[in-house]
Structure 1
Amino acid sequence: MTLVRPPSSVDVAVIGAGAAGIAAARRLARSDLSVVVLEARDRIGGRAHTLLREGHALDLGCGWLHSADENPLAQMVEPEGLTIDRTPPPWESQAFDHEMTSAEQAEFGAAFAAFEGRVAEAAARGEEGPASRLFEPDCRWNPRIDAISGALNGARFAEVSIRDYDAYRDTGVNWRVIEGYGRLVERLGARLPVATHCAVSRIDRSGPVLRLETAKGAVEARAVIFTLPTDLIAAGVVRFDPPLPDLMEAAASLPLGLASKLHMTVTGAEDFPKDSQLWGRADTAETGGYHLRPFGRPMIEAWFGGDIARQLEAEGEAAFFAFAADELAHLLGSSFRKRIAPAAASMWGADPWSRGAYSHALPGKAGDRARLKAPVENRLFTAGEATSEVFYGTAHGAWLEGGRAAREALAALGLDPGPAPGDDEA
């Protein structure tokens, strides 16, 4: 339920109505505590956001139930009246041989697997540094590997910690929600007490209760669960008095990379195999990945990560379509330009309440995920995808961390925190 104004006093205030904030609030709602969720945007969901275009639900943010066999959100899809699609992901099915022959595709697959093997071996030896240090010198596939990093991390491997990249856990099971991942997260938060248009600007820690200054007045709370993206924390969008330099430094070590999506309609889509993929170029990381006919729809979903995403965002939304049209025309023929049209694009870097897509640890900073989520005075608890040490960058990582923060808050307030992750909320 949407609140016109937040209450002036609660037991727990949750800042942010993304996946982490919603998970925390749902867990707290099962207690006798009073709770409010304070959200700066005019909607809930955070970086999970679904739009309806051309009669289809299009995810501008997270779209895949990664590690779906152990992803708690996957178990909530059907009970919420939504539909799971278990079609294998497009990265397992290369369309055509326009950019690379079958032999080259196999060669690239082997090169990427060997790179990840070197990362795992280095991490096991306790080594740290930029993951790009483990590129094979002069390997022709290094630019393509960096393009993959743009999709996975929102940044090139030169900006990504060896140990942090290796720590990510992926079971290899990837599903989708036909009606949209953002729609799922929205439904999960629909019955919570959320005050929208209610940005928090300051948290006063000087007294026995925390005092939050918001766009709709002051709120006092015995505990706060803080779920802002790391770039907002590091920039001091919410001011702490007294300051919390350790929290801000940890957030700065876990910056948000940028991964941008462009959804396009396409005529004559039956020419393409369903749920297959093309990449634009193999000789540069500044290229796009193209998911052809997602869900069998007459559409293309383009991905741009890292440097190219930031460059295109700086030029404006139309630049994404211009770039995609050029690459697809190069791959599929000049006449292909006439068959596509833009439907929707994400601009997470320009979004003032995100400033990016998902976090990566800078080289040497893998341990800062644990540092970021360390409780402050046993009454301020930070959660989000960036505090997840094995599922960072994902909605379910944020969800699990929101549940963890809620249990910490319950314990701090003298209540039974309930079971650890694996219960129906976390």
Structure 2
Amino acid sequence: MSRPDAVVVGAGIAGLTVARLLSRHGRSVVVLEARDRIGGRVHTDRSDGTITDLGASWIHGIDDAPLFDAVRGFGMRSVEFTVGSYQPDSRPIAYYGPDGRRLDDAGAAAFAADVRDCDAHLSRRIADIGSGTSYAAAVEETLGAVGWSAERAERVREFLHHRTEEQYGVDARDLDAHGLDDDETLGDEVIFPDGYGVLADSLAVGLDIRLGHFVSRIEWGADGVAVHTDRGVVGGAVTVVTVPVGALKSGAIVIEPPLPEPVAGALGRLEMNDFEKIFLRFPEKFWDDDVYAIRRQGPAGAWWHSWYDLTALHGTPTVLTFAAADCARTIRGWDDARIVGSVLDALRDIYGDAVADPTQVQITRWQDDPFALGSYAYMTVGSTTADHDVLATPVGGVLHLAGEATWTDDPATVTAALMSGHRAACSILGRDIPIEDLWTPTQ
């Protein structure tokens, strides 16, 4: 068998993107994937007659967005759902105070205004500091400067900590202050009634993808690469490694010679988060029709504080909530029944007996996934935003890293995965190529 021009490790969005672009520009490519499916952390479950995105769900802003251009190019259906970036308002959100009563419109608006005011001060504060300060510390400095009452400051502090957990799956004390620098949504957000997995399926058409190939070792040098799997060795001129940070740091794949600086340092400063999804489908809605999300304030919302109404996707009354950071780590060993009971207790604290038992439950276990070991990467205290791009520095002209953790402008997203795959393809080809080549029909 002839040696391919490129060996891509991982059939997630980054790997499929680079493979498709290289293939369309005349290069021979082999994609090695340990799982029995493609998509990586874009994983649409279609069991039991339902369609559920267990991994990525949203496009966070569709204005001037190559990813949205791609999904439109592939003919994917989408539904507007603009609360994925943990906005305090902009869409109807039902806020319930620490006493369990819903805030009236004036109270919710006043709270949202406080969040936006604090955010403006916080952004200026973070712009003045380098890496090495936690997001939590920056929040405290900002709240101390605005001079609000203890109760008013606590509600905003709580919101900012919950936002950190939902955006990056990490406690604000463990995230560098610059870890949310990319937190900007331009335009509406959308989700996909047919599943995000349609994107992976579309990218994969025509590619040589070998499932169930466990890569254990990658050797690289001036004469190319040798990728060792449980089914033999695949040699190539170059390799693109797109596995998650968790897998890269676990030691499951040995890279020889080891990654040099500055790539190794950048990898060392990024970590995988603890973040899970819980989907609950109910026989009927017990929440208001006019809200996108339900949010609980106060100590009762320490874990379960936000629920998102996904009914518009398929017409089935459905809410999604997240377990992040300490919550995700604590429930890791719980069975599904115990997790569901905890979530239902929180909902019933608001809605009482109106909350029936769910008809269907789906809970992710990304922390236990051996090929991911978490949901996505975050910046530890002391890392810099540049570490994402540094991680993608080509090594020896033959080894490239790509994936959501390697794109500075919008890390931890499918956009980052797509754009990093495009960048790797351009680097290998030695020229810029239009990203539209992904979805434009060949002549």
TM-score by shorter chain over 0.5: yes
Q: CA deviation at 1:330?
A: 0.9
Pick from 75, 100, 103: which aligns with 1:101? 103
Provide Cα deviations, 1:288-323, integer angstroms capped at 9, x if missing partner.
421124314321112222221221123244443122
Find the counterpart in structure 2 of residue 110 from structure 1: 113
* Counterpart for residue 4 of structure 1: none
Letter in 1 for 2:154: R
The C-alpha deviation readout for 1:7-44, integer Å capped at 9, x for no partner, is: 67211011111111111111101122110111111100
User: Is residue 177 of structure 1 aligned with residue 192 of structure 2?
Assistant: yes
Where does 1:17-416 land on structure 2 (aligned, <5 Å)? 17-53=11-47, 55-89=49-83, 92-95=91-94, 97=96, 98=100, 100-102=102-104, 103-128=106-131, 129-135=133-139, 136-137=143-144, 138=150, 139-141=153-155, 142-206=157-221, 208-244=223-259, 246=261, 247-269=263-285, 272-273=288-289, 276-283=292-299, 285-295=302-312, 296-334=315-353, 336=355, 338-366=356-384, 367-411=386-430, 416=431
What's the counterpart of residue 147 of structure 2? Answer: none
SS of aligned partner of 2:322: strand
Contact kept, 8 Å, 1:16 with 1:228, in 2: the verdict is yes
Whether the 8 Å contact between 2:388 and 2:411 is mirrored in structure 1 is no
Query: Which residue identity lines up with residue 241 of structure 1 in the other structure?
Result: E
CA change 1:144–1:96 in 2 (3 A) is closer
Does the aligned pair in 1 maintain the 2:219–2:227 contact within 8 Å? Answer: yes
Give the conservation status (yes or no) of the 8 Å contact 2:304–2:321.
no
2 CA distance for matches of 1:202 and 1:401? Answer: 23
Identity of aligned pairs, percent?
A: 26
Q: Return 313-322 or 64-73, whichever deviates more.
A: 313-322
Name stretches of at least 5 consecutive residues in structure 2 with no aligned partner.
145-149
Q: 1-side partners of 2:101 and 2:10: how far apart?
A: 42
With over 3 angstroms needed to count, the CA separation of the structure-2 counterparts of 1:329 and 1:279, relative to structure 1, is: same
Q: TM-score, normalised by structure 2?
A: 0.86
Residue 419 of structure 2 aligns to which amino acid in structure 1? L
Q: Give 1:394 deviation, angstroms.
A: 0.7
In structure 2, do the counterparts of structure 1 residues 14 and 313 end up closer, same or farther at CA, with 3 Å as the change threshold? same
Cα 1:256–1:294 change in 2 (3 A) is farther
Conserved in 2, the CA contact under 8 Å of 1:99 and 1:279? no
Change (3 A) 1:104 1:134: farther
Q: How many residues align?
A: 414
Q: In 2, are the aligned partners of 1:83 and 1:177 still within 8 Å (CA)?
A: yes
**Pair 1:28–1:388, CA change in 2 (3 A):** same
SS in structure 2 opposite 1:21? helix
**Letter aligned with residue 69 of structure 1:** D
What is the identity, as a one-letter code, of the residue corresponding to 1:303? F
CA contact (8 A) 1:236 1:248 kept: no
Deviations 1:243-278 (A, max 9, x none): 225444422311122221111111222753166211
SS in 2 for 1:46: coil
* 2:16 aligned partner, one-letter code: I
1:228 and 1:235 map into 2 onto residues whose CA distance is 11
Cα distance in structure 1, aligned partners of 2:173 and 2:336:
27
CA drift of 1:156 comes to 1.7
Q: CA deviation at 1:279?
A: 2.5
| 2:366 match: secondary structure | coil
- Using the alignment, how far apart are the partners of 2:66 and 2:8 within structure 1? 21
Specify the SS of the correspondent of 1:29: helix
Q: What does the per-residue CA deviation read over 1:67-89, in whole Å, with 9 as the maximum and x for residues that have no partner? A: 21233232233443431212544
Secondary structure at 1:187 match in 2 = helix
Aligned pair in 2 of structure 1 residues 363, 186: CA closer, same or farther (>3 Å)? same
Query: What amino acid sits opposite 2:137 in the alignment?
Result: R
2:217 partner SS? strand
What is the identity, as a one-letter code, of the residue corresponding to 2:125? A
Q: Secondary structure at the match of 1:408?
A: helix
Cα distance change of structure 1 residues 232 and 299 upon mapping to structure 2, 3 Å threshold:
same
Given that 2:94 and 2:103 are in contact with CA atoms closer than 8 Å, whether structure 1 keeps it comes out as no
CA distance in 1, matches of 2:125, 2:439: 36
SS of the residue corresponding to residue 189 of structure 2 reads coil
Flag the 1:36–1:45 CA change in 2: closer, same or farther, 3 A.
same
* Deviation (angstroms), 1:418: 2.1
Q: Residues 288 and 216 from structure 1, CA distance in 2 versus in 1: closer, same or farther, beyond 3 angstroms?
A: farther
Is 1:10 the counterpart of 2:4? The answer is yes
Q: For structure 1, list consecutive stretches of 5 or more residues without a partner in the other structure.
A: 1-6
Quick one: distance in 2 between partners of 1:28 and 1:290?
A: 41
Q: Provide the secondary structure at the position in 1 that maps to 2:237.
A: strand
